[in-house]
Amino acid sequence: MKPLVIVGDSMLDIDIEGTATRLSPEAPVPVVDTQRLMQRPGGAGLAALLAARTETRVVLVTGIADDDAGRQLHGLLAAAGVRVLGLPMRGTTVIKTRIRARGQSLLRLDGGDGSPVSRPLSDDVTTVLAGARAICVADYGGGVTALPEIRGVLSQLAPRIPIVWDPHPRGSVPVPGCSLVTPNQQEAQHFCGDSRDGELLRKRWCAQLVCITRGEHGAWVYGPHGAAEHVGVPQPAGASGDVCGAGDRFAVAAATALGAGAGPVAAVVAAVADAARFVATGGAAAVSAPVLRAVLPTGTRIEDPAGVDAVALAERLRRDGHTVVATGGCFDLLHTGHIRLLRQARELGDALIVLVNSDKSVRALKGDGRPVMRDADRARVLAALACVDAVAIFDEPTPQRLLEQLRPDIWVKGGDYAAADLPEAEVVRRHGGEVVILPTVAGYSSSRLIAAATSGRTRTERS
C-alpha cells in the first residue's frame, strides 16, 4: 500500500500536569503541585503520530535537530511506527511546555530555535512524496513549507495526488491546486479579515476546496460551485475537552479519506467526526507518554516508575477523575508481543500500572528453571518503557489481592485468555472495573524464546 505522507514542522510537546489549590506568597499566581510530566511529538509530528494509530504506512518529512530533545522526538515517532525522513536543520529542537491543573492550561513556555536549511531534497524524500496515496501538510510556521524545494515538488504533485494543507498564520501560503485547505475560524480571519469568507480564500489559494473548521460547531466547506455547505458534529465533543491536536486529527482524517478515494465533502464529514471523537476521548493528552529525564529542564525531578507506589498512584489518579489501566504477567524476557500489548493498554486510559509475578510465583506457574530474570530486574525493564507509569510485584499465583487495593478502571489481558476464565475478573468488576482482552501478536512467546535459547546453548556445549 502507498504511504500516507505528512510534511511540516515538528516539535516536542511537554505537559506538566498537577493540581493548583493555593496562590504563591511571592505573587498572585497559582502554585501547581506537579503530579506527572508527559510528552508527545508536536506539530507535524503529532499529525504523523495520530495517522499511525490507524494507518500502517506513515512517513513524516520534517526537520529534527540533533540534540537530546530531537533524539527523544525521533524515538517517540519511531516507537509509533512512523518512518521519519529528515530535512537538514540548524538550531535546537523547538519545545512547547504546557502547565496544566485539573485539565486546564495555565501557562505555555516555548523554547528552541530550530529551522530547516534550504538544500536539494534527498532521493528518499522525492520518491516518497511522488509515491504517496495522499499528502497532509501540517504547517506550523517553522519554515518547512517555505523551502523552495518542498514547494516545487508539492506544486508538481498537486494535480495527481490529494494534498490537504493545514495552514498557519506564520507559515507559507498553500501551493496552488491543493485538494483541501483547512484553516480554523481564527486563521481564516487572519488570512482575509473575515472568518466566513472561505470562497475568497479558495480563489486566492487556487484550491479545489477550503474548509473552515469551527470546533464544536462543525465546519463550512467552500467549493467551486457556489454556496457553502455546513458539516455538523455528529455528537458534541464537549466544550471542556482538550482541543490541542484537534486540527491535526482533522487534517489527517481528511487526507486519509481522500487517499482512499472519498469525495472532498465526504472527506470533510469523516474528518469532522474524527476530530470530535479525538477531543471527546482526551485530545493530545491521551496520546502522550511519560517524560524522560534527558529533555527536562535542569533540576526538574521525575519519579522512577519502578519506585512509584502503585496503589497510591491509582488512588490519586482516581481522585482526580483519571482512568487507571492495569495489566499483569510474568514478562520473563520481554518481546514484541508484550510491547504491543502494553502500548495498546496504555492508550485505553490515563495511566498504566503493570503487575508482575514474583520469582516465587513464576516458579509455581512455570516450574524449576524459571524465571530467567529476577523479579526486580523484570520490574526495572518494564518501568523503563515510556508507556508504563508504575510497576508492582505480587507473590500469589494471581494478582487478586493486589487488584483489591488498586481497583483499576480497566484490567487488560492478552488474547490467549478468555475473560470468563480469569479468576481476577470478579475482583475487577466488583469494584466497577472492566475486563478488556487485547489480541496477541502471533509467533511470540517467552517460553518459546527461552527454550530456543537453551537448546542453542546445549548444542554449543556438546560440540
Q: Which residues does the annotation mark as catalytic?
A: 248
Q: Can you list the positions of beta strands (E) in 204-266?
A: 210-213, 219-222, 229-231
Radius of gyration of the chain (CA): 24
259 touches 134 (CB < 8 A): yes
Query: Residue 449: is it exposed, middle or buried by C-beta count within 10 angstroms (0-12/13-18/19+)?
Result: middle
Q: Can you list the positions of beta strands (E) in 223-333?
A: 229-231, 289-290, 324-329
Residues, the chain, total? 463
Chain position carrying cell 537538514: 88
393: Cβ–Cβ under 8 A, 6 or more apart, which residues?
Answer: 355, 356, 357, 358, 375, 376, 379
Chain position carrying cell 494507518: 55
Task: Give the end-to-end CA distance of the chain in Å, rounded to a whole number.
Answer: 47
3-class DSSP assignment, residue 345: helix
157 touches 129 (CB < 8 A): yes
| Distance separating alpha carbons of residues 397 and 388, to the nearest angstrom | 22
